[in-house]
Amino acid sequence: MTQNIETHFESEIAVIGGGLVGSATAYGLARRGARVLVLDEGDIAYRASRGNFALVWVQSKGLGMPEYAAWTKASAEQWSTLAKSLRDETDIDVAHHQPGGFVLCLSEAEMEARINAMRRLHNQPKMVQYPYEILDHNETKRRLPAIGSDVVGSVFCPLDGHVNSLRLFRALHTAMARLKVDYRPNSPVESIRPDHDGFLINGPWGQARVQKLVLAAGLDNARLAPMVGLHAPVRPSKGQVIVTEKAAPFLHHPMVTVRQTDEGGVMIGDSQEDLDFDTVVTPPVISLMAQRAVRMFPLLAGLNVVRTWSALRVMSPDGFPIYDQSQSCPGAFVVTCHSGVTLAANHTLTLAHHILEGVLPASLEAFSSRRFHVSSAA
């Protein structure tokens, strides 16, 4: 005699991780009517959600994976829709602006390397095409009057922009609350196991049973993914940031390493270090970043530094995102990337839909972690 056991699920879907990637995905799921549980380790987690550079950046993305260039461009094009949705839902303006962005070069060698990189990027098969301009010093000076004489030239792309990332983070969490997302801070996950057509999630806070789950736990995805038959070989990459006092507006376009925020402060970020989980701010790196920024914009020499910090990027072996679904544990997905701001629109407006449908489309197959297991041809 077969006994029918009714399983009680606390939520339709759990998102593990409440940073930018997790909250953008959870918001997208909730706005489609899903009952969502978010388990967030909290502020002790290694994450860049409150320490990123806040760019919505297209140029230079995708060398080695043209699918990433297309995915990035699509997200940048959807960003105004995300900003409006959040403003309508929360009355929070995330200060999204898309005036186009510059990469400034301080030597002929830098300029040549940048031009060659852009040409290699756009010469890739299946590469999505978008406009960019190579500018000499005089044309760059015309568009950016505050640059210094050390700037040799620049590359400009009209698709680039930036936001206020702290407001974005607050808006996403406010929107989740208004859509009745069950957000649980200080809830680290110790284990996950398949259970009765769903998953049983355990932590020091107790346990939760859900039908589907999304791993969006940043660096902790490396530990959690194997529990549900997934692979997320991510590692930390340290970045350091300088913030100056507020100044009169002088920089109306974001740079890849310097930008003036909507509130007037100037952010400088020009470092990448592989130092495991070290997050100590180091004067030699900060000094070099400041020197390069002053060469770009001499007026920065007169501004006081009010804050410095470091944060850890979430990097895969090839630097590209990982989007995958488990074959052995259907209903489990992993979402991880180091461009949480740029890709937030895609995560909310596109990826969440596919997760609710229960299958990732063929267009995202390039982002599967299976790419790390392809054997070299003999």
Question: Locate tokens 């919505």: which residue?
Answer: 56
Residues 113 and 227 in one domain: no
The mean per-residue pLDDT over the stretch 84-102 comes to 98
| pLDDT at site 276 | 86
Residues 144 and 293 in one domain: no
Q: Is residue 183 part of a domain?
A: yes
One-letter-per-residue 3-state SS of 228-258: HCCCCCCEEEEEEEEEECCCCCCCCCCECCE
Q: Residue 125: exposed, middle, or buried by beta-carbon count in 10 A (0-12, 13-18, 19+)?
A: exposed
Residues 32 and 133 in one domain: no
Residues 210 and 243 in one domain: no
Residues 257 and 206 in one domain: no
Residues 355 and 207 in one domain: yes
Q: Residue 39: exposed, middle, or buried by beta-carbon count in 10 A (0-12, 13-18, 19+)?
A: buried
Residues 336-371 have pLDDT tens digits of 999 999 999 999 999 999 999 999 999 999 999 999
| pLDDT at site 10 | 79
Using the predicted structure, report yes or no on whether residue 3 has a pLDDT greater than 60. no
Residues 24 and 149 in one domain: no
Residues 108 and 131 in one domain: yes
Compute the distance between CA of residue 182 and CA of residue 326 in angstroms, rounded to an integer.
Answer: 24
Q: pLDDT band at 125, cuts 50/70/90? A: very high
Residues 341 and 226 in one domain: yes
Tell which of 297, 315, 333 closes a domain: 315
CB 57 within 8 A of CB 101: yes
Residues 149-194 have pLDDT tens digits of 999 999 999 999 999 999 999 999 999 999 999 999 999 999 999 9
| pLDDT at site 272 | 82
Residues 251 and 119 in one domain: no
Using the predicted structure, report yes or no on whether residue 1 has a pLDDT greater than 50. no
Using the predicted structure, report yes or no on whether residue 313 has a pLDDT greater than 80. yes
Using the predicted structure, report yes or no on whether residue 377 has a pLDDT greater than 60. no
Q: Is residue 263 part of a domain?
A: yes
The mean per-residue pLDDT over the stretch 116-129 comes to 96
Q: Is residue 291 part of a domain?
A: yes
Residues 208 and 330 in one domain: yes
Q: Concatenate the DSSP letters of all residues of 183-234 into one string.
A: EESS----EEEE-SSSEEEEETTEEEEEEEEEE--GGGHHHHGGGGT-----
Q: Is residue 180 part of a domain?
A: yes
The domain tally of the chain equals 3
Residues 205-246 have pLDDT tens digits of 999 999 999 999 999 999 999 999 999 999 999 999 999 999
CATH classification of the domain holding 283? 3.30.9.10
Residues 264-277 have pLDDT tens digits of 999 999 788 888 88
Q: Is residue 122 part of a domain?
A: yes
CATH classification of the domain holding 181? 3.50.50.60
Q: pLDDT band at 8, cuts 50/70/90? A: low
| pLDDT at site 375 | 54
Q: Is residue 73 part of a domain?
A: no
**Assigned token pair, 185:** 């801070």
Instruction: Show the domain range for 46.
Output: 7-52+166-234+318-373
Residues 32-75 have pLDDT tens digits of 999 999 999 977 676 677 678 999 999 999 999 999 999 999 99
Tell which of 267, 287, 315 closes a domain: 315
> 325 by DSSP, 3-state: which?
strand
Q: Is residue 378 part of a domain?
A: no
CB 75 within 8 A of CB 345: yes
Tell which of 267, 282, 315 closes a domain: 315
Compute the distance between CA of residue 336 and CA of residue 47 in angstroms, rounded to an integer.
Answer: 12
Residues 334 and 228 in one domain: yes
| pLDDT at site 73 | 98
Q: Of 53, 18, 59, which Cα lies nearest the Cα of 181?
A: 18
pTM score of the predicted model: 0.94
Q: Is residue 84 part of a domain?
A: no
